A and B are shown apart, each in its own frame.
Chain A
């Protein structure tokens, strides 16, 4: 029985990297969004420029479930190399759309799916003379065909093409023509629309479709970052590049000069060194990197912690360890960031769940870094950073001012004859600092990674060292109260079962919570948004007898963090771990939690790539 689903399905495109499919697929996704139906598009791409298989997946969900679902109801099979594997992964009753220019061996087509063959190559060969055009427009032709098959308004697609190529009339015309060719061909060949289809809706509302890296970069612009030093690494590169694009647009002064400085450093060590130098000198500075970069920066993180220098680090996490899975997602840098560097160190982490929070946390990270005079990590991941997510629109209050922290001005130094850089005047563990050049005779001090007394004078004596380390610990406690609070989603009925999760797991977890309720299983879900952990996390743990921690890493890193930070016993907790490089899915979380609650001792299955 072919799948019947309106505004609730997953379509997967199997393409060859570098074939120009990305922009065609985006056009397809945006057309559904323009029809008012929520979508969650995801790129599954290789570490490669051209030739390897790549997939694009669009989850269409009127109810707004935007996490990865798993499985596919329709497949657009444009890559012969992965054809068999892709077809095998299609849901029973699903639809296979493929290029039938060359007939397929009958054995590759399952009998429980609907096969829709269209001779795309042949059609394009007849319409276009150049080889590259044939390849590029083949993509647009299949998008046009999908409009017919899925009942998407072709006019919406034509408008999107016109917007995209605004000012290039020839391109607009060519794209619209290709869309029309595909549409007409599909209409004449198949009974359109299919059982899966799109229907106009109002469910999108005012939401925007945006990548987390863009959002974080924009947050850095709004948050007043002026120095960005970075080294290219997937999946963080587009964050630095988006910062540059937005600065070029919004940060040029009246004389045409830049109110920012961006340096592509020679490596990650130099990148963090520059950011720390700039932070020391009073600029809001950041770097963006991923796991391997975090490893390289370790020594500098210790310096920033100990010498108390504000700096923001965006870690767009990918599959580790080592080069790991550089184009796949994970939440596996939690511990290496929280306790980065040697000696007793710990750092503040902000953990957004998607682009909207990435924007907000990015902007506030600069306030927190300057307030706390330390490193603040913003923990994104590849799924948040490089995929487009339907998010609440960005908001900014024009009355909002930057918290520049405790920096003594010239006038304040005039009144402060006994400035002690590491003196805890206010009792919150946060000392006052001065900036180079701020006063001719007062406030100069020597910044160092070596031990020093409250007046920043070098010392190797035990007591001043301990005094300083305890103040840093006290400052960390102050941080605890300043960071974003966790978000609680209570079950429909009171329950003693609790789930802790964070970051990009949120969308799938929310959906899983509803699926569980459908089974009569009630769980409260607490989304952690920062480290050190808020007191509310401890209260949540206290209020539940059985705790699940849902994460995208092998070692249940959040469980370790909770255990260390709150001193609670976590050995009886149940980790639900998904770390194959694909985003976790509601189906997976639902299945795993439900299985544990039915049979507490059931071993966890390792999920193969879906």
Chain B
């Protein structure tokens, strides 16, 4: 399969955002994933979120590893630079890119194999470091490109298409991310655009390491009876903790969730996100509570979705490193080279 461009023409009355871009301007080339793939819904949600936030596409850098999920950056944000790196190593490449230019918006796209299996170490450390990014895992519990082997997020007892049960303890990426220092941690479902789009928007607005685990059924290899990552299973077991209503000063978010109490969360840059709490007990600023909620849901066989945890005063990697406010890739000889005088002094000290 090779590259398939999407036609550029569109209906003249299609809406434009504050930058004058249409939603189509945030799209990429044609998806080559299977029809009905959850990943395509996530791609659409990312496109939607970036369009609504009116992010300048060229200020976004999209990076991925290897796998079905990691192919998706080609299908979104065609005016953004993208980097499809090596399997499980997107976090390090993204970290380096971020070090080089702190001013861009970094979007990391990965899958459950890419993140929870081969890339688990890098996932852990990128969260620990607090790299300013939005890290999305498109989680279907299986390896698609190699035809359906389990990944490390497959639930114990979940049946593969060939009828084999997963026997190992599954990795809950949201719980791990919270433990390791993610300052924005959420879970959602590719089939729930109303919940997913606002979460992606909030993650993009978050300053620090933002993580979203999106359950994304694999229609070809993991959507059958007995799978715990199928559309039917996720719909039946999805417990939404909260819903994001709107971000102050941004385009309104329309959602169709049930009534609940409003919780306003002020972000580092002064914007406020408004959550509608569906579970009155859950406080998104309480890290321990988030972990407890995840543990209880796991015992009950439920999938909790929504924003689980946020630290709005988060420090990001550049704060810790105390790097200059200018992007490092823009520094020149004048900033970087100590010059011959300094070198003479160094020579003198070595005699």
Contact = CB atoms under 8 A, between A and B. Distances in A.
B322 interface: yes
A335 interface: no
B306 interface: no
A261 B338 contact: no
Interface in A545-598: none
Contacts of B78: 444
Interface in A213-266: 218, 221-222, 224, 226-227, 229, 250-251, 253, 255-263, 265-266
Interface stretch (A87-95, A270-278, A505-513): A270-278
Contacts of B56: 440
B343 interface: yes
Contact of B1 (A393, A436, A460): A460
B86 interface: yes
A460 B325 CA distance: 42
A340 to B, nearest CB: 14
A544 to B, nearest CB: 38
Interface size class of B (residues with CB under 8 A): 35 or more
B89 A300 contact: yes
A259 B331 contact: yes
A406 interface: no
Contacts of A283: 96, 99-101, 328-329
Given A257-B322, A281-B61, A460-B2, A449 B335 contact: no
Interface in B40-83: 56-59, 61, 63, 73-74, 78-83
A205 to B, nearest CB: 10
A117 interface: no
Interface string B124-148: 1100010000000000000000000
A267 B340 contact: no
Contacts of B124: 266
A236 to B, nearest CB: 18
B322 A258 contact: yes
Interface string B302-340: 000000000000000010011111001101110111111
B9 interface: no
B328 A273 contact: no
A436 B335 contact: no
Nearest to B339: A398
Contacts of A208: 347, 350-351
Interface string A407-445: 000000000000000000000000000111111110011
Nearest to B104: A437
Interface in A185-224: 204, 206-210, 218, 221-222, 224
B94 interface: yes
Given A221-B338, A251-B336, A277-B96, A439 B84 contact: no
Nearest to B331: A259
A259 B125 contact: no
Interface in B88-121: 89, 91-101, 103-104, 121
Nearest to A455: B3
Contacts of B328: 226-227, 259-261, 278, 283
Contact of B92 (A33, A224, A265): A265
Interface in A131-164: none
A274 B104 CA distance: 16
A448 interface: yes
A270 B122 contact: yes
A446 B350 CA distance: 47
Nearest to A34: B351
Given A208-B347, A267-B121, A461-B2, A449 B84 contact: yes
B84 A263 contact: no
A293 to B, nearest CB: 14
B346 interface: yes
Contacts of B101: 281-283, 435-437
A184 interface: no
Given A258-B322, A459-B3, A218 B346 contact: yes
Contacts of A221: 336-338
Given A208-B351, A257-B325, A446-B84, A274 B340 contact: no
Contacts of B58: 436-441, 444
Nearest to B1: A460
Contacts of B81: 434-437, 444-447
Interface string A286-322: 0000000000000110010000000000000000000
B14 interface: no
B321 A261 contact: yes
A265 B91 CA distance: 11
A394 interface: yes
Nearest to A440: B58
A83 interface: no
Contacts of B300: none
A257 B324 contact: yes
A300 B86 contact: yes
A423 to B, nearest CB: 16
Contacts of A445: 81-82
Contact of B79 (A229, A402, A444, A461): A444
A278 B347 contact: no
B95 A277 contact: yes
Given A227-B99, A282-B329, A436-B101, A274 B92 contact: yes
Contacts of A55: none
Contacts of A453: 3
Contact of A278 (B100, B104, B333, B350): B100
B336 A447 contact: no
A397 interface: yes
B100 A401 contact: no
A47 interface: no
A226 B100 contact: yes
A490 interface: no
Interface string A449-476: 1100100011111000000000000000
B16 to A, nearest CB: 15
A267 B126 CA distance: 12
A421 B86 CA distance: 20
B89 A273 contact: yes
7 contacts: A206-B347, A227-B96, A258-B321, A259-B324, A260-B323, A437-B61, A444-B57
7 residue pairs, one from A and one from B, having the closest CB atoms: A277-B96, A273-B92, A283-B100, A274-B96, A282-B329, A281-B100, A436-B81
Interface of B: 1-3, 29, 56-59, 61, 63, 73-74, 78-86, 89, 91-101, 103-104, 121-122, 124-125, 129, 318, 321-325, 328-329, 331-333, 335-340, 342-343, 346-347, 350-351
Given A258-B322, A444-B82, A448-B82, 18 more contacts: A226-B328, A229-B92, A229-B99, A260-B323, A261-B328, A263-B129, A270-B121, A273-B92, A273-B93, A274-B95, A274-B96, A278-B96, A278-B99, A280-B83, A303-B85, A447-B82, A447-B83, A449-B84
